[in-house]
A and B are shown apart, each in its own frame.
Chain A
Amino acid sequence: MNNMFEIRIHSRGGQGAKTIGQILAEAAIEDGKFTEAFAEYGPERSGAPMQVFVRVSDKPILVHSNVKNPDIVILADSSLLGLVDVLGGLKSNGAIIINTAKNPDEIKSLIKAKKAQKIYSLDATKIAVETLGKDFSGIALMGALNKITGIVSKAALEEELEEIFSRKKGKEVAERNILAFRKGYESIVL
Chain B
Amino acid sequence: MSSTKKTSYRALSGAEAAAEAMRQINPEVVAVYPITPQTPIIETFARFVANGKVDTSLINAESEHSAMSAVVGASAAGVRAMTATSSQGLAYMAEVCYIASGLRLPIVMAVVNRALSAPLNIHGDQSDAMMLRDSGWIQLFSENAQEVYDNTLIALRLAENKKVLAPAMVMQDGFTTSHAVQNVLTLSDEKVKKFIGEYKPLYPLLDIRHPVTYGALDLFDYYFEHKRQQVEAMENALKVLKLIDREFFSVSGREYSFVEEYRLKDADIAIALMGATAGTAKTVVDKLRNKRIKAGLLKIRLFRPFPAEIIKRALSRVKKLAILDKAIAPGARAAIANEIRAIFAGEKNAPKIQDYIYGLGGRDIGPDDIGKVYKDLAKAKRIGELKKVRYIGLRARSSH
Interface residues of A (CB under 8 A from B): 1, 21-22, 25-26, 29-32, 34-39, 41, 44, 60-66, 68, 155-156, 159, 163
Contact = CB atoms under 8 A, between A and B. Distances in A.
Contacts of B367: 63, 65
Interface string B157-183: 000000000000000010111011111
Nearest to A159: B2
A64 B368 CA distance: 13
A62 B6 CA distance: 21
B80 interface: no
A62 B282 contact: yes
A64 B279 contact: yes
A66 B4 contact: no
Contacts of A44: 36
Contact of B2 (A30, A34, A35, A61): A30
A65 B364 contact: yes
A35 B181 CA distance: 8
B6 A31 contact: yes
Contacts of B175: 38, 41
Given A25-B181, A26-B11, A36-B182, A64 B176 contact: yes
B283 A1 contact: yes
B180 A37 contact: yes
B280 interface: yes
Interface string B128-150: 00000000000000001000000
The interface size bin for chain B is 20 to 34
Nearest to B365: A65
A123 B368 CA distance: 36
B181 A64 contact: no
Given A1-B283, A64-B277, A65-B366, A38 B176 contact: yes
B51 interface: no
Closest 6 CB pairs of A and B: A32-B6, A65-B366, A38-B180, A62-B279, A25-B181, A26-B11
Contacts of A34: 9, 183
Contacts of A61: 182-183, 279
A62 B280 contact: yes
Contacts of B368: 68
Contact of A66 (B6, B173, B366): B366
A54 to B, nearest CB: 9
A186 B176 CA distance: 35
A39 B36 CA distance: 14
Given A29-B7, A29-B10, A64-B173, 14 more contacts: A29-B11, A30-B2, A32-B6, A34-B9, A35-B11, A35-B182, A35-B183, A38-B176, A60-B183, A62-B280, A64-B280, A65-B367, A66-B366, A163-B2
B276 interface: yes
Contact of B366 (A35, A38, A68): A68
B5 interface: yes
Contacts of B364: 65-66
A63 B279 contact: yes
Interface string B1-30: 010111101110000000000000000000
B241 to A, nearest CB: 24
Nearest to A163: B2
A31 B7 CA distance: 8
A25 B11 contact: yes
Interface string B273-306: 0001101101100000000000000000000000
9 contacts: A29-B11, A30-B6, A34-B9, A38-B176, A38-B179, A61-B182, A64-B176, A65-B364, A66-B364
